[in-house]
Amino acid sequence: MRMMELSGKSGNSKIFIGESISHLASLCTSEKTVIVTDRNVRKFHGEKFPDFPVLEVGLGEESKTLPAVQALYGKFMEMELERGSMVIGIGGGIVCDISGFAASTYLRGMRLGLVPTTLIAQADAAIGGKNGVNLGGYKNLVGTIRHPEFVLCDFSFLSTLPEKERRCGFAEVIKHAAIADATLFSYLEGNLQEAMELKRSVIEKVIHDSILVKTEIVAKDEYEKGERRKLNFGHTVGHAIEKCCCLPHGEAVAIGMVAEAQLSVSRKLLSEKDAGRLMRLLADAGLPAKAKATPSGLLDAMRKDKKRESEIVKMALLEGIGKCSIQDVKMGEIEAVLSGICIAGKGGGSP
């Protein structure tokens, strides 16, 4: 087990990497603690939960909405939770987002702990304090930044993930390596199969190093004024793909990274060789490079992106493996590379 800390204006987090959920109860020091999860996690892992009341939220991005949060508020009222009460989100990124947003806004903020159960949540979504819900089908338009008191990453949860969901988690790991850790990128190139098979020593290093990238960036820029925008690599295009094609987040981000790497090449920031390395690693992880969409449809969805300022989008572009910078990109320039990731039809993806 490894432990690291992330400190910020919105709170301090202790991140336990490789810790067992059997130690969760010892971290819950409030007299009133409630667990928020979904039915799948409860089905497979509910017997591991400490003896606290359990509330369930829905499955899928369509459940990550303000009505879902309002339903939790109602339960919190019935349970007479107080500011000193604690909410524990046990689940993937959606559970972490909904529980985090509800806990950070009810009574202007209750205590929060997270137990991410998916690779995408352990390596990325549960770290950094962002909590958000979708609005009108668009990703995370409503949210807060408030760090949980702790994040407990128990690797045993990963063994019950469907293979597709496990592969999706590697999209965020590869993203972290591509933007800030060339050594991790090379390690993934040589050890990806063992990581995907969840070999303990390999997956612990991969998740630790991925989290380290994120915590170092967030510590410099908690509220996403500059440096933290690097974490959006692949997400500007990826969120549009997610909206238009109904693909899982990891697959959409993988395609987004392909497009944004090509944009980096067109600006002569990234070599074709390094772009090729990125595309090969994504392919080796079983992630798609193209989507059934149209450039005009993706561009329309991108106009709703919260990072857009008039016709300019602040985008993270690669300057090499392990290095990126924030660039002002015009919508027309983005449109020029979208045809490279689009295939005929609408909805779905292609490896």
Q: What is the pLDDT of residue 266?
A: 97
Rg of the chain (C-alpha set): 19
Tens of pLDDT, residue by residue over 296-313, are 999 988 887 656 666 789
Tens of pLDDT, residue by residue over 15-62, are 999 999 999 999 999 989 999 999 999 999 999 999 999 999 999 888
Tens of pLDDT, residue by residue over 201-252, are 999 999 999 999 999 999 999 988 899 999 999 999 999 999 899 899 999 9
Dist CA 161 CA 49 (whole Å): 18
Average pLDDT of every residue of the chain: 94
Letter string b/e over residues 315-328, b meaning 16 or more CB atoms within 10 A of that residue's CB: bbbbbebbbbebbe
Return the percentage of the chain with pLDDT > 90, whole number. 86
Specify which residues 350 forms β-bridges with.
290
For 55, phi then psi, to 5°, come to: -115, 140
Dist CA 316 CA 235 (whole Å): 9
Average pLDDT on 315-343 reads 95
Q: In this structure, how many other beta carbons lie within 10 angstroms of the beta carbon of residue 208?
A: 17
Q: Which domains does the chain have, with CATH numbers?
A: 2-160 (3.40.50.1970), 163-350 (1.20.1090.10)
Q: What is the pLDDT of residue 8?
A: 86
Contact 115, 24 (CB under 8 A): yes
Helix (H) or strand (E) holding 319: strand 312-320
DSSP per-residue letters across 63-120: G-SHHHHHHHHHHHHHTT--TT-EEEEEESHHHHHHHHHHHHHGGG--EEEEEE-SHH
Q: What is the pLDDT of residue 11?
A: 82
Average pLDDT on 63-79 reads 97
**Band of pLDDT at residue 351, cut at 50, 70 and 90:** very low
